[in-house]
Amino acid sequence: MAEPKRKLMQGNIACVQGAIYAGMRFFAGYPITPSTEIAEGSARELPRIGGRFIQMEDEIASIAAVIAASVTGKKSMTATSGPGFSLMLENIGYAYITETPCVIVNVQRGGPSTGLPTKVSQSDTMQARWGTHGDYTAIAVAPSSVGDTITETIRAFNLAERFRTPVTILLDEVIGHMREMVTLPEPGQIPIFNRVKPTVPPDKFEPFAMTANLVSPMPAYGEGYRYNVTGLTHDTMGFSTNRADEIWPKLDKLKNKIEHYTDEITKLRVEMMDDAEIAYISYGTVARTSLQAASIARKAGVKVGSIQLYTIWPFPDKQLLELCARCKKVIVGELNMGQIVHEVKRVLPRDIEVHTAQRYDGEILTPLQLLKKLEEVM
């Protein structure tokens, strides 16, 4: 067999390729900079493989179509940026409570509002966790390269299917638009998870049954299993309830089906941390600046390392605590006014100093900025 060909690929296109590899067969969206190439790529690729692409009238309709397509059994995705993500949030809540797997890509740009359409930002980090109202637990992943974007998109679909939940991919303008050499994975090279379907006869079907792992088998509409899908808090049969003994378990299910498996969802890249006294903590584009700064500082004799969060939500409390156990100081780098730093402060003991390096002018943090901060805190 021929050697798999390396290609120069744009981040947004890598997202499309990863999604298709994972089994995406439906995309609905409303194009917005800097995510537009994901819609374009999906429009080009999906019809060729029997999938469907729809450009909807807006973002609210886009996520509604994505949820509906998923209920009919198709792996579904939409892509947007901050303004569109804000519009989608109400229906994303509907996906949480109806436990509908789907993937939402947010290629972040500066905000609030229409903000900086062509400029990079990481200011939707908290929105991906708390954006829609109510109690729930979110999963969000953050790639930092074009290659990562393929694997993290596949992982996002797998997590969505496994946990029956929306998963957010936090890309940003820099990764979305840059091109890097990548090799697409061969079929079968990366495992694909498909949602578990019911095996009981339709008349015994309990659509939101409490299973051992808290994830209920999910049929596709049209397969003979009839059930009610509602945004109202519901019992295990899918009908709305006001009974405390049904509300508690439903909401606990939304939380625990994910949080009990945090260790399996967590993904980090840890470099130069073995003897590190100072750690850069970052995600997305900034993680690459951190690695650059840390490797430069190491050559100058500074014991500094880098912890990159691929999984942002659920936050990896336990792992971060262990990794920073020998650190005296950490520097949290973000393209915002400080979001994930609050989680870091929550997790780390008081005797570890938490410093920040922030930028929110539409440009990425440079190695020099992170090195200056390092010098300042040393």
Partner 1 sequence: MGKLLDKIEIPQDRYEVRLSGSGGQGMILAAVILGEAIGGGDGRNVVQSQSYGPEARGGASKSDVVISSNEIYYPKAMKLDMLLAMTQESMDKYFEDLKEGGTLIVDTTLVTHVPTDNYYGLPFTRLAREEAGHVMVANVIALAAIGAITGVVSREALTESVLSRAPKGTEEKNRKAIEIGWREGLKLKK
- Where b means 16+ CB within 10 Å and e means fewer, 307-343 reads bbbbbbbbbbeebbeebbeebebbbbbbbbeebbbeb
**Out of 299, 346, 349, 351, which residue is the one contacting partner 1 (CB under 8 A)?**
299
Tokens matching residue 312: 């942002």
Q: Which is nearer to partner 1, 23 or 117 (CB)?
A: 117
Binding flag, residue 188, partner 1 (CB under 8 A): no
Question: Restricting to residues 137-156, which ones interact with partner 1 according to CB under 8 A?
Answer: 145
Give the range of 201-209, 219-227, 260-268, 290-298 binding partner 1 by CB under 8 A. Answer: 290-298
For residue 34, state whether it binds partner 1 (rule: CB under 8 A).
yes
**Of these, 44, 179, 260, 318, which contacts partner 1 (CB under 8 A)?**
179
Q: Which is nearer to partner 1, 160 or 297 (CB)?
A: 297
User: What is the C-alpha separation between 274 and 137, in angstroms, rounded?
Assistant: 32
Closest distance of CB 211 from partner 1, Å: 42
Residues in the chain: 378
Q: Taking CB under 8 A as the criterion, which residues in 61-80 touch partner 1?
A: none
- Confirm or reject binding of residue 372 to partner 1 (CB under 8 A): yes
Binds partner 1 (CB under 8 A): choice among 236, 256, 266, 295: 295
Q: E strands, the chain, where?
A: 6-10, 24-29, 52-55, 75-80, 102-110, 116-120, 139-141, 166-172, 179-183, 268-271, 278-282, 304-309, 311-313, 329-334, 353-358
- Encoding tokens for residue 108? 């972040």
Give how many residues touch partner 1 by CB under 8 A.
37
Binding segment (CB under 8 A) for partner 1, from list 19-27, 161-169, 171-179, 325-333: 171-179
Distance in Å, CB of 83 to partner 1, minimum? 16
301 near partner 1, judged by CB under 8 A? yes
Pick the closest to residue 254 from 97, 90, 92 (CA basis): 97
Residue 295 beta carbon to partner 1: minimum distance, rounded to whole angstroms: 7
For residues 348 to 367, the per-residue mask of contacts with partner 1, x marking binding by CB under 8 A and - elsewhere, is ----------------x-xx
Task: Determine, following the binding rule CB under 8 A, whether residue 371 of this chain makes contact with partner 1.
Answer: yes
Among 98, 168, 285, 339, indicate the residue that binds partner 1 (CB under 8 A): 285
Q: Is 278 in the site for partner 1 (CB under 8 A)?
A: no
Give me the DSSP letters along 155-202.
HHHHHHHHHTSEEEEEEEHHHHH-EEEEEPPPTTTS----PPPP-S-G
Beta bridge partners of 27: 53, 77
- Residues 293, 367 contacting (CB under 8 angstroms): yes
**CA separation for the pair 329, 373 (Å, rounded):** 12
Q: Which amino acid is present at 231?
A: G
3-state secondary structure of 327: coil
Site membership for partner 1, residue 117 (CB under 8 A): yes
Which of 210, 232, 300, 321 binds partner 1 (CB under 8 A)? It is 300
Least gap, CB of 345 to partner 1 (angstroms): 25
- The DSSP code sequence of 241-258 is ---HHHHHHHHHHHHHHH
Residue 75 or 119: the one with the smaller Cβ distance to partner 1 is: 119
- Contacts with partner 1 by CB under 8 A lie at 5-8, 34, 117-119, 145, 173-174, 177-181, 285, 288-289, 291-292, 295-297, 299-302, 364, 366-368, 371-372, 374-375, 378
